[in-house]
Structure formats: structure tokens, C-alpha cells
Amino acid sequence: MDKAVEAGRGPSKTVEAISWTPSGGVRLLDQTRLPQEEAYVEVRSIDGMVEAIGALRVRGAPLIGIAAAMGLTAAAADAVRRDAFEPQWMQDGVRRLAAARPTAVNLTWALERVARAAKDAFDHGDDPSTVVEALRAEANDIWREEVERCRTIGEAGAPLLPKGARILTHCNTGALAAAGIGTALGIVRVAHERDRSIHVTSCETRPLNQGARLTTWELVRDGIPCRAIVDSAAAWLMARGEIDVVLVGADRVAANGDVANKIGTYALAVAARQHGIPFYVAIPCSTIDMDVAGGAEIPIEVRSGGEILTAPGAEAHNPAFDVTPAELVTAIVTDRGVIEAPYDLSLRRLFD
């Protein structure tokens, strides 16, 4: 990891979820094997990265954008060696990577950036190896910027948490999801650094247990007090007065402020409203999609029913994300500041 990326990583023994191998491949911490095993996979092809993203070996909206950009670069270097690297190869690679998961806009956002860098280099008449270097530089820029954005989100969001706050979070929004210190978990980390005496309750997050497996793993490593609950316990804990704040990330925020995030987020927002608990969403600006007017237009990934344990022969329906209407969101913490309703206006202002 280069020095600038390193600088944004926080005090924690932060996990290296992604890195380059010495020979230019992409090294991923295989998140499907955590917390039992810290095992790594090396990816250097489009197929390999599509598989890793689809299987959630690498996951979380910002991190799959970074991984796709780095994977495209590694595969392009390989295509140069085989004398197969040309604009059509690039377009196919971008198309296949973008289709690996539909909901997180960070994936297409990062791929559009690297594709543009490659096109500029091709148009400039650069030789294939130089085009690959342009791809690598852009992928590294995206990675460094996302790390920096997480730190800024953490700094902006920590003051929202009262001292002693009991925070409910969902899924995993930390170093395993975003590089750097994470988005919602970045806020948690900064608050912990400043001794806000916080405590985190992590929803298990069905069906793949990202909260119970991954969020608690990160928090325990950092010495941040936490516990896991099953998703269906959340509303009850709110009713008992055990939660002060709900703090989540997102995979895509529409131009009107509707928030697509891990399935179960909407239920948390409804319960939070019922109990008068603030519901905060933490995102880098790369998660905002101003081309999508509202949540109804956000593509929602439906995963295999096989991820849900059923009786043999029983059907399972497995939507992986849901949409929380903007009206349930107390504030959105971004790397350009904290914004509130009306979100159509406050989001637009972020890009002025």
C-alpha cells in the first residue's frame, strides 16, 4: 500500500482487505472465510474478479468499485502479455465486471473512471503497456481517494454521536467494505478514538451474516465494545431503550435521498422512526447516483435461494438489498459534509 493510502487508515490494526501482489495481481482477503480463517486469494483475470465479487469474497460498495478497477488493470496487463489488449477487450471486461453485482453504484462509477483513463491513453496513441499504466494509476487514485473519504466521513460524523452512545449498525461498513477505516464504522472508529465511550450493537445481517461475522471481527480487533444480535431483535431493543442511534452505510443513494442498503435496513429505519431514534446514513459521494431519480429505479440484487436454509424442495426468495425512503433518514454523512432534508436540494448542492 502506498504512503497516501496508508495515511488514511486509522489507528486500528486495520485489515488489508485488498492489495497488489508483487507481480501485479490483486490480493483479496477472502471474506467468506472470516472469522474462522484469514485466507487470501489472488485474482488476475476478469472471470476471477467477477467470481470474487459475485461470491462476496470481496464486498461492500466502495470496495467492490476499487476491486473491479484493480482487477481490470491486472487482467489488462495479462492481455498485453498475450497480445490481446485493445479497446474491444476493455469494453468486454468493463461490461462483465459491471454486471457482477447490480445495486452498488460504486462498481459502475469506478469502472467508468478507469475505462475513461484507458480511452484517453488509447486516443493519445499510447502503446498497450502505457495504457495499462494509465489504468493502474487511475485504480490507485480511486483506492486512495476512497480511503481519504472514509477518514473525512469519520471526522464529520463522530460529533453526531453523543458521549456513551449505544449505536445500532447493520451489515459491514468497515475496512472490509470500504478500504480505509470504513464509512459508518469509520464514524464509530473516530468516536472511539476520541473516547466517546460508545458501544455498538451489530445486526447479524441475513442471509450471509456480514454483521455477526465481519463487523464484530473488525470491532473486536480494535477493542471497540460490541455485541451481535439477530436482525429480528433490533426493534425490541429500541423499544427497551437500549439503542440511541442507528448508523448504516449504503450501496446507492438516489437523487431524492432514497437509500438502497443491505436487506433489513428499511425495517430498522421504520422501527427507529417509531421509537424516535435518529437514523443516519454514511456514504462517500461515489455512492450517490444523481442519474436515478428515486429508489424505485435502483436495481435490487436478488441472490440465490440456496443462501437461505429451507426444507428440501421449498422455495426461497432472497433480495439482498432494500430501499429506505428519504423521509426516514435523519441525516446523510458524506465526505463533503453532513446533509439533511430536503435531500433533492442538499444532494444537488454537493455537486455544485
Q: Which of 244, 245, 246, 248 is nearest to 184 (CA)?
A: 248
- 12 or 261: whose CB is closer to ligand MRU? 261
Q: Which residues pair with 332 in a beta bridge?
A: 281, 339
3 state SS of 280: strand
Q: Give Cα 119 to chain centroid, integer Å.
A: 27
- 104 or 238: whose CB is closer to ligand MRU? 104
Report in angstroms how near the CB of residue 47 gets to ligand MRU at its nearest: 20
Active site residue: 231, 251, 258, 335, which one?
251
Residue 268 cell numbers, joined: 430498522
352 is catalytic: no
- 132 or 177: whose CB is closer to ligand MRU? 177
Report in angstroms how near the CB of residue 85 gets to ligand MRU at its nearest: 30
Report in angstroms how near the CB of residue 269 gets to ligand MRU at its nearest: 13
Q: Which residues pair with 254 in a beta bridge?
A: 289
Report in angstroms how near the CB of residue 140 gets to ligand MRU at its nearest: 20
The residue of the chain with the least Cβ separation from ligand MRU equals 249
Task: Determine the Cα–Cα distance for residues 347 and 239; give it in Å rounded to an integer.
Answer: 32
Q: Which of 313, 315, 339, 341 is nearest to 327 (CA)?
A: 341
**Residues binding ligand MRU (CB under 6 A):** 56, 59-62, 104, 171, 173, 177-178, 183, 210, 249-251, 261-262, 320
Task: Determine the Cα–Cα distance for residues 60 and 220; give it in Å rounded to an integer.
Answer: 19
Report in angstroms how near the CB of residue 126 gets to ligand MRU at its nearest: 34
- 178 or 277: whose CB is closer to ligand MRU? 178
CA 336, 341, 347, 349 dihedral sign is negative
- 62 or 257: whose CB is closer to ligand MRU? 62
- 148 or 251: whose CB is closer to ligand MRU? 251
Q: What are the DSSP calls for 11-49, one per residue? A: SS-----EEE-TTS-EEEE-GGGTTT---EEEE-SHHHH
Task: Determine the Cα–Cα distance for residues 44 and 78; give it in Å rounded to an integer.
Answer: 8
Report in angstroms how near the CB of residue 130 gets to ligand MRU at its nearest: 33
Task: Determine the Cα–Cα distance for residues 265 and 249; give it in Å rounded to an integer.
Answer: 9
**Ranges of H-type helices in 216-299:** 216-221, 234-239, 265-274
Residue 304 has a CB neighbour count (10 Å cut-off) of 9
Query: Active-site residues: which are they?
Result: 251
